[in-house]
Structure 1
Amino acid sequence: MLIAIWAQDKNGLIGKNNRLPWHLPNDLRFFKEATTNHTLVMGRKTFEGMGGRPLPNRQTIVLTRDSGYQASNVLVMHSLEEVIDYDKNNGGETFIAGGAAIYTEFLPYCEKIYRTFIEASFEGDAYFPLMLWNKWQLTERKQGQRDEKNPYRYYFETYERAGS
């Protein structure tokens, strides 16, 4: 099953220089708990923005148009079809983890969304693509815990494709 996962500010911002524009440890913990023991799909720039190494206990797929691209301990794929075939044959959950172009390409195939919505504005250069929210149904919304390390008001949201 393909699942999109991302955090965004109230303006749809998701990145700055291929990194997150905020520090929200509770969201990082949520991401880790959701994706551990599953597959992560991300573009090359997102992968390199995370240090160019896979996250522990997850199979990472780096999607790139560069046919010569190589990275250690990840699967390198070059098309949406390759990833969809992998997902069908894998039988688990495959998380689409960015960046913006990857989300645009995969959203029509996702069955579920995990979105962290941060009620704040940040500076950055990458925005989540236009969403057709009428195709999705909010099934859960939980307010995140605020403290000195997580100073923003934020929500963990789960959506399922409408009609699924």
Structure 2
Amino acid sequence: MSYANTQVAQIAAISSNRCIGKGNELPWHISADLQHFKKMTTRSDAQSSQTESTVQGIVIMGRKTFESMGSKPLPKRVSFIITSQLDYAEQKGLVGRDNAHVVHNLDDALTQAASLAHGVHLDTIWVIGGERVFNDALMYTDRIELTHVDTEISDGDAFYPELPSDFNVVKESEQMHNDKSDLNFYFVSYQR
């Protein structure tokens, strides 16, 4: 189902009741999951030649997700931020920035991201949240990378959508344990 020959992938960490956020923050801190996210969404230098662009990843997110990351674009990645606020780029000082683009719908984000991906030879665009963006992007998504965190978040306010039945598990990691949060978690790759 690729969008303009570019794979659309989603990445999220979800609790057993599908919670992905609470008070516009992750409901836990698991450094191995954050490292996994960075590794997945950033192409390593070994894969890109020096002549290519310094862009090593493309991420699409909603405004609240962007703000939950301190309203700063992720290092080495270009961020497409979806918001209905027409003056958002001005408000956040993002006008003219190469690493952050404000768009007003998912279609524009996907179209511009696919065009950029083609230009810098990246084969994947990453959708990184939040709830509404994940939901709206599901029909364009080829692959989903989920970190399943073994906990129930009763007071969460953002949830990951149910996976459509045409997604199958293609890879699953061993269960791991995070000592700081005392939580078990594992990584699962789903493919359409």
TM-score in same-fold range (> 0.5) = yes
Instruction: Please give the alpha-carbon distance, in whole angstroms, between the structure 2 residues aligned to 1:97 and 1:144.
Output: 23
| 2:51 aligned residue | none
Identity %: 31
Shift of residue 158 of structure 1? 0.4
Correspondent of 1:88 among 87, 96, 114: 114
Cα pair distance change 1:17/1:150, threshold 3 Å: closer
* Partners of 2:171 and 2:189 within 8 A in 1: yes
Cα pair distance change 1:33/1:2, threshold 3 Å: same
| 1:7 aligned residue | 13
Cα pair distance change 1:157/1:131, threshold 3 Å: same
Deviations along 1:61-120, one digit per CA (max 9) or x if unpaired, are 101111211133411111222122123322321110101000111011011100000111
- Normalising by the residue count of structure 2, what TM-score does the alignment of the two structures yield? 0.79
Range moving further from structure 2, 22-31 or 78-87 = 78-87
Task: Map 1:11-160 onto structure 2 (within 5 A).
Answer: 11-36=17-42, 37-70=56-89, 71=92, 72=94, 73=97, 74-89=100-115, 90-91=117-118, 92=122, 93-122=124-153, 123-132=155-164, 134-149=165-180, 151-160=182-191
- Normalising by the residue count of structure 1, what TM-score does the alignment of the two structures yield? 0.91
> 5+ unaligned residues in a row in structure 1: which ranges?
none
* Partners of 1:26 and 1:144 within 8 A in 2: no
Please tell me the residue identity of whatever aligns with 1:2: V
Range moving further from structure 2, 121-130 or 3-12 = 121-130
RMSD of Structure 2 on Structure 1 (CA): 1.4
Shift of residue 150 of structure 1? 5.5
> 5+ unaligned residues in a row in structure 2: which ranges?
1-6, 43-55
Count of equivalent residues: 160
Please tell me the residue identity of whatever aligns with 2:25: R
Please tell me the residue identity of whatever aligns with 2:158: A
* Partners of 1:18 and 1:45 within 8 A in 2: yes
* Partners of 2:106 and 2:133 within 8 A in 1: no
Q: Secondary structure at the match of 1:121?
A: coil
Range moving further from structure 2, 30-39 or 73-82 = 73-82
Q: Which has the larger radius of gyration?
A: 2
Q: Secondary structure at the match of 2:25?
A: coil
Instruction: Please give the alpha-carbon distance, in whole angstroms, between the structure 2 residues aligned to 1:102 and 1:84.
Output: 11
Q: Secondary structure at the match of 1:143?
A: coil
